[in-house]
Amino acid sequence: MIENKNILIIGGSSGIGLALAEYLAPQNNVIIASRTNDSIKHLNVQHVCYDATQDEFDTSKLPEVLHGFVYCPGSINLRPFKGLKLEAFSSDFEINVLGAVRSLKSVLGHLAASGNASIVFYSTVAVQTGMPFHSSVAASKGAIEGLTRSLAAEFAPKIRVNAIAPSLVNTPLASKFLNNEAKMEKASERHPLGRVGNAKEIAQATEFLLGEESSWMTGSVLQLDGGIGNLKT
């Protein structure tokens, strides 16, 4: 478990980001940059009001050195390609890719000052495993995987860059797909391990990528998907 590190979580007030903040806050200096802070008032963390799709990041509130950067904002926009307007692709790309780029460029100097920082992005199982109705989110998250590998090559050896590609995780973002027993059962049955993911296990995998245990790992996309990406049962 990582300790005494300065970790910036973009979008840490809900879902996976909140679970990660709760997991890391007791032993680390966690800074959460998000639009609201109502859900994190119980945590010993620093909050910076920030919208990754439009705001400039106020770095004056950050420590000089950041050891970790995690970008959590995302979207799940599942519709048939024929019914998707161009604006849907643009919106997904803005929040998933341009928001990540905008945020990272603002704090890159703080990460470089560490000498051994770690960056973690989130992709989706639908990038490597073709799934119907995922064209918009798969396109933007596919860009995230490309960004992960490109930056890993560019920043090595002083900054590591990895990503996690989960399947469906039980978070507020995915609530419309899991908001009754029938939907939950159907979603669980699609996964070889018989259930959907939970935010805590994604947070634990993120902590692994931030810490020394993964110090010989960069440019990788960690599949955390209940087996659905590789197995047919």
Task: Kindly name the residue from 118, 141, 167, 214 that is annotated as catalytic.
Answer: 141
Give the separation between CA 138 and CA 143, rounded to whole angstroms.
8
Nearest C-alpha neighbor of 166 from the set 230, 129, 123, 121: 123
Annotated catalytic residue 141: yes
Give the separation between CA 172 and CA 142, rounded to whole angstroms.
23
Task: Kindly name the residue from 123, 135, 136, 140 that is annotated as catalytic.
Answer: 123
User: What 3-state class would DSSP assign to 117?
Assistant: strand
Nearest C-alpha neighbor of 120 from the set 46, 79, 66: 66
**Contact between 19 and 30 (Cβ < 8 Å):** no
Give the separation between CA 168 and CA 170, rounded to whole angstroms.
7
Annotated catalytic residue 186: no
* Residues labelled catalytic: 123, 141
